[in-house]
Amino acid sequence: MRERLLKEVLNSENLKKYGIVDWGVTTESRPKTWKYYYSWVEKGLNGILKYLEGERRDKREDLRKYYPEFKSAIVFQFSYANKKYELDKFYKSPLSNGLKIASYVLGFGGVDYHFKLREALEDIAHQIKAIDPTLDYKLSLDTQPILERDLAFRAGLGWFGKNSMFISKSEGSFFILGSLLLSKDYELSQRELEVDHCGQCTRCADSCPTLAIDIETRTLNSNLCISTYTIEDFKGVQEAPKGMEDSNGEIFGCDICQEVCPWNKRLLRVGKVSINENEISDKEREMREFFLERAPEDVILDLENMSNRGFQRKFKSTPIERTGRVGLLKNLRFFSGKR
What's the chain's average pLDDT?
A: 95
Q: What is the pLDDT of residue 32?
A: 98
Average pLDDT over residues 25-50: 96
Contact 20, 77 (CB under 8 A): yes
**Could you tell me what percent of the chain has a pLDDT over 70?**
99
Distances (CA, A) of 255 to 6, 85, 101: 36, 12, 9
Question: How confident is the model over 155-169, as pLDDT tens digits?
Answer: 999 999 999 999 999
The residue annotated as part of the active site, out of 112, 123, 136, 142, is 142
Is the pLDDT reported for residue 4 higher than 80?
no
Please state the rounded mean pLDDT for residues 262-269.
94
Q: What is the pLDDT of residues 38-74, one digit of tens each?
A: 999 999 999 999 999 999 999 999 999 999 999 999 9
Identify any residues that bridge with 303 across adjacent strands, giving them in sequence order: none
Active site residue 88: no
From residue 281, alpha-carbon distances to 78, 187, 277, 293 in Å are 18, 40, 11, 16
CA quadruple 114, 115, 121, 125: dihedral sign: positive
Radius of gyration of the chain (CA): 20
pLDDT exceeds 90 at position 238: no
pLDDT reading at 256 higher than 50: yes
267 Cβ contact partners less than 8 Å away, ≥ 6 residues apart: 81, 85, 171, 172, 174, 273
DSSP symbol at 75: E
106-120 burial code (b ≥16 CB/10 A, e <16): bbbbbbbbbebbeeb
* Cβ atoms of residues 222 and 47 within 8 Å: yes
Question: Given this model, what pLDDT does residue 338 score?
Answer: 46
The yes-or-no verdict on residue 211 having pLDDT over 60 is yes
CA 167 → CA 174, 238, 244, 268, distances in Å? 9, 30, 25, 16
Q: Are the beta carbons of 262 and 201 closer than 8 angstroms?
A: yes
Whether the pLDDT of residue 148 is over 80: the answer is: yes
Task: Give percent of the chain above pLDDT 90.
Answer: 90
Give SS3 for 111: coil
Which of 270, 89, 269, 262 minimizes the C-alpha distance to 172?
A: 262
Please give the pLDDT value at position 339: 41
Question: Is 111's pLDDT higher than 80?
Answer: yes
Confidence of residue 154 (pLDDT cuts 50, 70, 90): very high
Mean pLDDT value across residues 118-142: 96
Q: Is the pLDDT of residue 34 over 90?
A: yes
* Cα-based distances in Å from 328 to 61, 242, 302: 34, 19, 12
